[in-house]
Amino acid sequence: MFHIVIDSAIDHFENYPALSVVPVYLRIGEKFLKDRVEITRDYFYKILSSVVNSFTTSQPTPEDFKEVFDKVPEKDILVLDVSSKLSGTVQSAQSAALQTEKNIMVMDTLSASIGGGVLAHIAVQLRKQGKTMQETYEELMKLRDRVNVIAVIATLQNLVRLGRLPTIAGFVGGLLKTVPLIQVKGGEVKPLRNERGNPFTIFKKYVEEIASDIDNSYPVGMAYTDLNEDIITLARSKGAYLLQASPVIGAFVGNNAYGIAYVRKGNP
C-alpha cells in the first residue's frame, strides 16, 4: 500500500487515514504561519477583511515535505501538489524526494483547492480498491485535464496583486463593478466572465448551467469562504462534498466566494 501527501493549497473532502497534508505558509505582518496548523479556518476568516490587502503566501520548503515523508510508515508515497504554474510547491516536493530512500512520485495536479481535492479523493478510492501507486498515478494523469474548477469571487484584487492574474483583468472587473467568475484551466487562473448581481445567485445559476457537463461517476466538490444555508442546500441537492476553503485559498479569493470542482464528461 502507498501513502498520499498533499499540500494545503489542495482542499481535501474528508480526513483520510492514508493522507497527510504539508502546510503552505501564510505571511501576515512579520509572521509566517502554517496554513491550517498555526492559523485555523475559523480564525482566518474572522480577520480576513483586515489583512486582505497585506498578506503574502510562501510554498513549503523541501524540509517540510521530507519531515512528512519520514513520518509516514509506507515506503511508497504519492504526492499531489497545487499547480506548478501557481506555486513552487511541486519543486519543493521533488527536491525532498531526492533526499529520502522512499519511493516517491510527485504529481502536478495543474489545479488548486477543491480541484486537487477531487483528484485526492479519487486517489484514496483507488488505493482502497487495491491499485498500486503507479496505477493510481496513471489513472489520475488521465483525468487531470478533465478536472474543472470554477469560482465566483467578490474581487480579483489579490489574484492580480500576487501575480496570478494580469493587471488588466482586475482593472476591467473593478471598472465594471461586476462579480467575476474565474476558472482554473491548464494550471492557471483565468477570467471566465463577469456578471452583475449577488455572488451566490450567480454561482447557483452557473452550477445549473454546467449540470450536463459533470461526470457523476466521480466526486463533486463545492467550497465557500463564508457559510450560509443556501450553499449547504445547493451542495446537498447536487450530492457534492462541501467544505470551507483553506486560509491560503481564502486569502486569494476573499469573502463571499463560492466554487465547484468536478470531472467533465468525455475528453478535456
- The DSSP H or E segment spanning 192 is strand 188-195
Q: Residue ranges of the alpha helices (H) in 185-267?
A: 199-209, 229-238, 247-253
Share of the chain above pLDDT 70, in %: 90
- What is the predicted pLDDT for the residue at 162? 53
Digit-coded pLDDT (tens) for 2-29: 999 999 999 999 999 999 999 999 988 8
Mean pLDDT of the chain: 90
Domains 2-144 and 147-263 share a fold: no
Span 233-247, pLDDT tens digits: 999 999 999 999 999
Provide the pLDDT for residue 106. 98
| Residue 213 φ then ψ, to 5° | -90, -10
**Residue 268 — very low, low, confident or very high, per pLDDT cuts 50/70/90?**
low
According to DSSP H, which parts of 98-246 are helical? 114-128, 133-144, 157-161, 167-176, 199-209, 229-238
Inter-CA distances, 136 with 77, 111, 133, Å: 11, 17, 5
Measured CA distances, 175 to 156, 170, 184, 193 (Å)? 12, 8, 23, 14
Q: Please tell me the CATH code under which domain 147-263 is placed.
A: 3.30.1180.10
pTM: 0.92
pLDDT for 167 equals: 46
Helix (H, G, I), strand (E, B) or coil at 243: strand
CA distance 222 to 207: 10
Q: Which residue has the cell 484514496?
A: 124
What's the pLDDT score for residue 55?
Answer: 79
* Confidence check: pLDDT of 170 > 50: no
What is the side-by-side order of every strand in the sheet holding 31-34? 31-34, 25-28, 56-58
Which of 100, 65, 101, 63 has its CA nearest to residue 82?
65
The model's confidence at residue 158, banded by pLDDT at 50, 70 and 90, is low
pLDDT range class, residue 163, cuts 50, 70, 90: low
Higher pLDDT, 36 or 255: 36
Residues 113-132: what's their mean pLDDT?
Answer: 98
Nearest 5°: CA angle at 188, between 30 and 214? 120
What is the rounded average pLDDT of the residues 162-180? 54
Strand partners, 242: 222
Query: Does the structural domain 2-144 have CATH classification 3.90.1150.10?
Result: no
Domain ranges of the chain: 2-144, 147-263
Q: Is 143's pLDDT higher than 90?
A: yes
